[in-house]
Amino acid sequence: MHRSKISKPTYNFLRAFYRTASRQFSSHETHLENASSMASLLKTRAVIRFRGPDTVKFLQGLVTNDVRKLVDLEPAAVPTPNMPSVSGPPIYAAMLTPQGRFLYDLFIYRPARPDEKLDESGSGPGPKPDELELYADVDNSVLDELLETMKRYRLRSKVDIENMTEAFSCWQCYGMNLTNKASLKEEPEAASVGYGGAVDQSGVSTSQGNRHGWHWDKDPRLDCLGFRGIFPSNTPPPLIEADKETDETNYLLWRMEKGVAEGSSEIPKGEAMPLEYNLAGLNAISFDKGCYVGQELVARTHHRGVIRKRLLPLKFVDDNGKEVEEKVTPGSEVTSSTSGKKAGIVTTTFGCRGLGLLRLEEAFRGFGNLAIQGQEGIKVQAFRPEWWPSEWFVEHQQQNAAAQNLDGF
């Protein structure tokens, strides 16, 4: 079992921060629920580049999402020398074992190339298909292993795979006042990008990204996760004030309270089933793209329509409902006092918060039902994230399973 660890100094800092915030925690209100926008440099992520004429074909047969969406893009309505004529959001995807178990997750980006930007005369050269580049941000802890795996699958495909971590860094921007925005380009600073009026240099940087075309994009998983981007390592990302940059562990807590795992340390490599870790709901899986490694199990489970275990946000408390900090570790077994059976397992922890893979029929039986095996007096509260679709609720799944049984007669 892979474990997600937080350093003691970082934990102490965040513990003091959270004590100044509201102590209320539910599926609707959490410690960071009213936090203003924050930005975190994601040191746990690394950047790789794919380049060559077979780039799309290679990735299309390897990852769970449809990479063709990054190529079939509509030109921008009003391209300028600062804005690319072709741009699109990144996609979230995963690599699986041939047996359909999770290996790695990737955020795949198509940067705007210089030949996709107009020059000052208003014209520019057309794109060259053999120069297509795609970038991906991946889990830094498995970077070498991931590169080796991809190169093993490459065979004779004309695609170069390079480690670009020295040149580029990954960032996440999040917080309540960003959740409902359609784009960071709605910010006043970014509205001045392009010709005409005052051209704000930070706004130009948002689109131009030091001539690499990098800009903030909505997180492809969920709106509530904010915005994500890859930026040159030697400069801070645009539109981020110095006092808004915060430690990456704040982003970890933000995700945990939304019930979202990330990376091979939180989604156990070689063990996790993608649908149990909610990757379909996080827009990581295309069910109509065609074949890819590990597709058969994912497709069969999806069309069966019954997922009995799912990843959920957790809170650890004592018998009186008071939060219990640093008492639970990843890998701890969660048991049900109602049935006396194992209800699931804790996968990630931070203070009194966590993520756990639990059986849905046991997860929501009321306060006091869930406890940590072997740790007397520690209860577990599980919460349904607001973004969950209704068909994930256990009542719906029970009806669906009953209907399938009737169809079998």
Residues 161-171 have pLDDT tens digits of: 999 999 999 99
C-beta atoms surrounding 389 within 10 Å: 9
Closest CA to 371 of 398, 403, 342, 400: 342
The strand pairing partners of 169, in sequence order, are: 231
Which DSSP helix (H) or strand (E) runs through 47? strand 45-51
Residue 204 confidence class, pLDDT cut points 50, 70, 90: very low
Give pLDDT, residue 76: 47
Mean pLDDT of 130-140: 89
Give pLDDT, residue 20: 34
**How far apart, in whole angstroms, are the C-alpha atoms of residue 59 and residue 55?**
6
Q: Comparing 68-72, 117-121, 188-192, 217-221, which segment has the lowest mean pLDDT?
A: 188-192
Tell me the CA distances in angstroms from 82 to 73, 127, 161, 205, 228, one per residue in order.
Answer: 18, 17, 28, 9, 20
Instruction: Tell which wins on pLDDT, 352 or 29.
Output: 352
Residue 376 confidence class, pLDDT cut points 50, 70, 90: confident
Mean pLDDT of 176-200: 44
SS3 230: strand
Instruction: Tell which wins on pLDDT, 132 or 259.
Output: 259
Give pLDDT, residue 325: 92
Q: Comparing 61-65, 67-71, 117-121, 367-371, which segment has the lowest mean pLDDT?
A: 117-121
Give pLDDT, residue 244: 82
Give pLDDT, residue 162: 96
Give pLDDT, residue 73: 63
Q: Find the helix packing angle between 8-19 and 248-258, rounded to 10°.
A: 60
Give pLDDT, residue 71: 85
Is 366 a residue whose pLDDT tops 90? no
Is 253 a residue whose pLDDT tops 50? yes
Which pTM does this prediction carry? Answer: 0.80
Q: Comparing 233-237, 331-335, 375-379, which segment has the lowest mean pLDDT?
A: 233-237
Virtual CA dihedral for 127, 130, 131, 136, nearest 10 degrees? 110
Instruction: Tell which wins on pLDDT, 191 or 7.
Output: 7
Token pair, residue 353, equals 């918060």
Is 118 a residue whose pLDDT tops 90? no
Give pLDDT, residue 238: 83
Give pLDDT, residue 89: 87
Give pLDDT, residue 33: 55
Give pLDDT, residue 215: 83
- 116 within 8 A of 127, measured Cβ to Cβ: yes
Instruction: Tell which wins on pLDDT, 11 or 224.
Output: 224
Residue 17, φ and ψ in degrees, nearest 5: -65, -45
Residue 395 confidence class, pLDDT cut points 50, 70, 90: low
Residue 365 confidence class, pLDDT cut points 50, 70, 90: confident
Mean pLDDT of 293-305: 91
Residue 109 confidence class, pLDDT cut points 50, 70, 90: very high
Give pLDDT, residue 114: 53
Give pLDDT, residue 37: 82
Per-residue pLDDT tens over the stretch 84-107: 445 578 999 999 999 999 999 999
Give pLDDT, residue 185: 45
Give pLDDT, residue 239: 77
Residue 34 confidence class, pLDDT cut points 50, 70, 90: low
Residue 46 confidence class, pLDDT cut points 50, 70, 90: very high
Mean pLDDT of 381-396: 85
Instruction: Tell which wins on pLDDT, 13 or 386.
Output: 386
Specify the residue for token string 């609720």: 393
Instruction: Tell which wins on pLDDT, 235 or 11.
Output: 235
